[in-house]
Every structure is written in structure tokens, then in C-alpha cells.
Structure 1
Amino acid sequence: MTPAEKNASIIKSTAKALGFDFCGIAKAGFLEEEAPLLEEWLNRSYNGQMGYLANHFDKRLDPTKLVEGAKTVVSLVYNYFPEQKLPESPDSIKLAKYAYGEDYHFVIREKLNEFLEILREEIGEIDGRGFVDSAPVMERQWAQKAGLGWLGKNSLLLNRDMGSFFFLSELIIDLEVTPDTPLAKDFCGTCTACIDACPTDAIVDNGVIDGSRCISYLTIELKDAIPSEFQGKMENWAFGCDICQDVCPWNRFSKPHQEPRFSPNEELKELSKTDWKEITEETFRKVFKKSAVKRTKLAGIKRNVDFLSSK
């Protein structure tokens, strides 16, 4: 076994021990094929008010500019599919499943820090950083290069064994590691379930999303009033949206996660539609104390719920 192969073996066994469902490895370098696609996407203003997606264009396409001396991108999959959805009725307020429990940034960040410490103990001095949706890293593209799946028509990474209800994170390190083989095939075929189901027509082409029309964008990223053209089209989503994932046939393979910190608290389970409409700062802080929902602040949630209620 070569040193690079041994490093790959240590990385994969460590990932499994830390609870990651899949681990893939790719050689760090410039994403040549993705560069013109990203440029065109930005030129079409599909990023809406997400101006940060136009920043650090070079770093976004080349992790060696993000982490000096980087040689390897380790992509990691961590399941968040819940055992049970929050109670739903035709008029229930909905949250994306990833926001049911504690903010994934904190949960996975801790695991990435531990991951790096273990690697340093096992292998020696390693320079690198962990990333979880927190820097200009094209995580889905790197996960595809690492053989973890393919990009679906809804632009999400799809995995044959578990669908798409998972978080992606990365370790970008200066270690030589034997890379995995990218998945050569797109297993979506002629299926258009996600395109057909999107109520705001945000999926404009195969794998191309007009982010400014996506319900997740409208309820989280957009700081202005939600445009009236989306009145009656939001299907009661107040934070994020799971529609394109819920209808995806590959998500029939989703299995419940094993992360207690991703489970909803009792207060969240008990919120009625009236509670959502009348939510106070005190209740918001209590229910969403460690939640990703805090990102919108109380004003954002109230805006969203009011918009849904005025249809």
C-alpha cells in the first residue's frame, strides 16, 4: 500500500467512526468545466440578492487558492432525514427538514475539527481547513468528483443509496491522498418530477436553478418583501423548502438519521398555525435557540408567515 493509499484508508475509516455516511476523495485543482457555467449563472442574476455568491470567484473554482498548498478535497455526507416529519395538515406552517433540530453548522463543524485532530495524530502534521456551507466551496461539484453521486435536475447531489437529504462538508488539506473515481452516469434519466413539482418554476433547465425564484431563497435569503407574484405559490413553507426532494424517486431510499441533535424539540412540535402567527421574541428565542431558523430573525419569520396567511 502506497502512502497515498494508506492516507485514503485512514480518512475513510475516520469518517465512518465520526458518523459520516459517505466519504469521497478528489484531487484539488481548478474546476475547469464548472467555470463557464458559474459565470453564466451569475450573469443571468440567478443568485438574486445573494451577492456573496459572486465574490471570490477564483477561490470558488480553485481550492488551492482558498487553502494554501491544498492537494486534496475530502467530501463528506451526513444524513439529516428525520424519522418523522413535523405534524402537517393542509394549512400547517412548514420548515425544511434540515432545520428541525440544532444548526448543522455547529454539529458538523465540531466533527470536522475532531476529524482533523485525529488525522494529525494518525498521520502527522497536516495543514488544512474544514468547511460546512461556510466559504466559497462548490461542495456539490467536489462531491460528484469524489464519486459520491451525481447532480440532479434540481441541482442537488443525489446518492443512489440515500437520495439527497444530507449535508455536505469538506476537508481541504495539503496531504497526498489516492482519489476516488467520479460517478460517470446521471441516474435521473428522463424523470422530471422535481421540475414538475416546483410551484415557483425555479428549475429553469436541467440542473440550473433560478435562485431568485426558489422558495428557500424567498424565505431565507431575500431581505426585502416577498414579490406578490409568488402569492399562493409557497405551499406554506416558512423557512426553506423540501418539495423537489420530497418528490424525488431516489429519496425513497432515505433512512432516519442517528443524530440526536437534529431532532426537533417539543416546543417546535407543538407550534400551531396560530402560534406561528402570534409568535413573540421570547417564544422565538426559546423554540429556535440553537436552530438554523435564527438566521431569518423573528422579523423574517413573521414576514414569511404573514405572506403565507395573506394568500
Structure 2
Amino acid sequence: MGGAPASLTRGLEACAYGLGFDAFGVAALGEPATRPHFDAWLEAGRHGTMAYLDGAGAELRRDARQPHPGATHAVVVAASYGGREPSGPVARYARGDDYHVVLRERVRELHRWLERELGHPIDARPYVDSGPILERDLAQRAGLGWFGKNTMLITPRAGSFVFLASLFVSLELEPSAPFEADRCGACTRCLDACPTGALPAPRVLDASRCISYLTIELRDGIPEPLRAAMGGLLYGCDICNDVCPYNRKFSKELSEDSPFRPRPFLDGVPSRELALRVLGMGVPEYT
């Protein structure tokens, strides 16, 4: 029985890479190591108007065993969405198919593989940027990478241009070794490049100044002092990832059949033209 979790984990890893994931690990569920930083971040109001991160949502994030009661371990995976494509008015992650749908199905296939391998149902739940969990903390504990100074998880296999996903399971698996190294050194390129000052210190994000927050999460008007610094960015921002030396080294080309390749509607279209296209869309085109 002692070797069963290890062999099962190795089989799961092979299945994950076969499904197109770029990184894989397993973490035991519990209180996140970053909980004190998360609490201090909320206390400072750096989450802006994202009220779902506070209150009951914060309580669930303070212990990874709470979102899916009974789960003991998480299978944590990462999938590259490129990084070599030209920058543009829409962040790279949002130019292709909906990653929630694509990756949720891949994670469900991991669940099905487990059930086939063990011959009985397994209580499990997939998460793809869709639940009250501190995903980057979980990924670091599963050995996928380290926290960059821009707060992104940097993986040695694909940089930080990756989606994170997980499968919470009520099953004993062999945990991976956490990624303990900090490979950012003295580099501050991401902090220096942020045009709105959303990175006031290493590994501190003021979401209320982040262009991704301003163009996606914020429901009010964008504060006037920040508008000029945003340039032509319409949805999300890749600047702090673009300047990272590890992304220049590790980020990947998208394959021809990747679901994350840009839709023609978004591919290479200048900001002003794209904004006019979107504003001119009717309900059928938008949906």
C-alpha cells in the first residue's frame, strides 16, 4: 500500500502531460503558507472593489480543505497559453477559446482516469480560476514554480504565461516537493515597467491600480489619473510578464491546433479599430 500513492501519482502525471498540460504536481490541502500576506493585502484594501475576495470568500481561502469538504489533496496543473505572440490591446490569455471550458474538461479527464485506474468512483472537484482558493500558493506547494516579483507564478517549463487548474480529491496521493527557490534575484524589471504603479514593492500587487483590474473587474469608471498610462490596452495587460527575463527564456510558441490561438476578430487589430468593432456589436455577435 505504501507504494500505491506514488505509482498512482506517476500515472496521473503521465496522463496530465498527455492531455497537454505543461506542469504537474500534487499538494496536500491545508492552511496556505501565504495566508498572513493575503490577510495583510485585504487589510490594506489592495483588492479594490473585488468584495468576493473578502468576508466569506476570504474565510474559505484561508484553508484549502474548506471549499470541497472531504478533499485531502489537490492535483495541480499548468497549461501554457503562449507568450511569444505580439502584445496588443487584449491580453494574450483572452484572445482564444475560453480557458475555463477548455481546461475544466482536461481536468475532468484526469478525474475519469483516476476512476478507471482504481475501479471505483472518486469524490473530486475541478477548479479552473473558479473557486475560493489561493491557486498560486497551491501551485508553489505542488512544486510548479515560484512567485515572481509581479506576484505571478513563474514555471520553469513555460514562464508565467500559464493557466493554473486543479482537481481536489478525497484520495491519498504522494505530495510533490514544494518549489522553494526564489530565482528573481535583484531583478525589478516588472516593477519598473508597470505604467500605473500597481507593483509598489516586490510581490505586492495593488489591484486597484492594475490595468487588468481596471479593464475587467472594475465596474465604475476608470480613475482619470490612471487613464493616460493605460495607453491602448482594452482588456487585461501583459506588460509585467513581457519584460520578465524568464518569460523570454521559457514562454512557448502556440501550436497550430492550440485552442488558445487568437481569434481572427482579435488577431493583430489596433486598439481603436477593435474598440469600434466591439462597440458596434449586437447581442448575437457578442454572445
TM over 0.5, shorter chain:
yes
Rounded to whole Å, the distance in 2 between the matches of 1:196 and 1:280 is 32
In structure 1, the residue matched to 2:80 is: 79
Partner-residue secondary structure (3-state), 1:74: strand
Please state how far the C-alpha of 1:64 moved relative to its aligned partner: 1.5
Please state how far the C-alpha of 1:275 moved relative to its aligned partner: 2.8
Please state how far the C-alpha of 1:276 moved relative to its aligned partner: 2.8
Partner-residue secondary structure (3-state), 1:148: coil
1:101 counterpart letter in structure 2? G
Rounded to whole Å, the distance in 1 between the matches of 2:268 and 2:283 is 15
Rounded to whole Å, the distance in 2 between the matches of 1:82 and 1:246 is 8
Rounded to whole Å, the distance in 1 between the matches of 2:136 and 2:21 is 16
Rounded to whole Å, the distance in 1 between the matches of 2:238 and 2:285 is 21
Please state how far the C-alpha of 1:260 moved relative to its aligned partner: 2.6
Distance 1:44 1:125, change over 3 A: same
Please state how far the C-alpha of 1:100 moved relative to its aligned partner: 1.0
Residues 8-32 of structure 1: CA deviation (Å, up to 9, x unaligned): 112101101111111011111122x
In structure 2, the residue matched to 1:52 is: 52
In structure 1, the residue matched to 2:93 is: 98
Distance 1:69 1:228, change over 3 A: same
Distance 1:25 1:106, change over 3 A: same
Rounded to whole Å, the distance in 2 between the matches of 1:245 and 1:18 is 25
In structure 2, the residue matched to 1:220 is: 216
Partner-residue secondary structure (3-state), 2:266: helix
Alignment check: 8 A CA contact 1:153 1:192 kept: yes
Rounded to whole Å, the distance in 1 between the matches of 2:282 and 2:148 is 35
2:27 counterpart letter in structure 1? A
In structure 2, the residue matched to 1:128 is: 124
Residues 239-283 of structure 1: CA deviation (Å, up to 9, x unaligned): 000000000000012111335321122232364444334335663
Counterparts of residues 99-248 of structure 1 (less than 5 Å) = 99-123=94-118, 124-248=120-244
Please state how far the C-alpha of 1:4 moved relative to its aligned partner: 1.1
Residues 107-155 of structure 1: CA deviation (Å, up to 9, x unaligned): 1111112221121111232111000000111110010001111001000
In structure 2, the residue matched to 1:40 is: 40
Alignment check: 8 A CA contact 1:80 1:257 kept: yes
Rounded to whole Å, the distance in 2 between the matches of 1:285 and 1:190 is 49
Distance 1:186 1:270, change over 3 A: closer
**Is residue 2:9 matched to residue 1:13?**
no
- Aligned length in residues: 282
Q: 2:281 aligns with which of 277, 280, 283?
A: 283
In structure 2, the residue matched to 1:66 is: 67
Please state how far the C-alpha of 1:237 moved relative to its aligned partner: 0.9
Which residues of structure 1 form unaligned runs of 5+?
Answer: 89-93, 290-311
Alignment check: 8 A CA contact 1:151 1:158 kept: yes
Partner-residue secondary structure (3-state), 1:95: coil
TM-score by length of 2: 0.92
1:119 counterpart letter in structure 2? L
Partner-residue secondary structure (3-state), 1:147: coil
Please state how far the C-alpha of 1:224 moved relative to its aligned partner: 0.4
Rounded to whole Å, the distance in 2 between the matches of 1:191 and 1:79 is 23
Distance 1:142 1:274, change over 3 A: closer
In structure 2, the residue matched to 1:263 is: 261
Please state how far the C-alpha of 1:285 moved relative to its aligned partner: 5.8
In percent, how many aligned pairs have the same letter?
39
Distance 1:181 1:237, change over 3 A: same
Alignment check: 8 A CA contact 1:21 1:77 kept: yes
Counterparts of residues 300-311 of structure 1 (less than 5 Å) = none
1:30 counterpart letter in structure 2? E
In structure 1, the residue matched to 2:251 is: 254
Partner-residue secondary structure (3-state), 1:205: coil
Distance 1:288 1:115, change over 3 A: farther
Please state how far the C-alpha of 1:160 moved relative to its aligned partner: 2.2
Alignment check: 8 A CA contact 2:232 2:271 kept: no
Alignment check: 8 A CA contact 2:76 2:139 kept: yes
Rounded to whole Å, the distance in 2 between the matches of 1:138 and 1:53 is 10
Tell me the C-alpha RMSD between the 2 structures.
1.9
Rounded to whole Å, the distance in 2 between the matches of 1:73 and 1:213 is 32
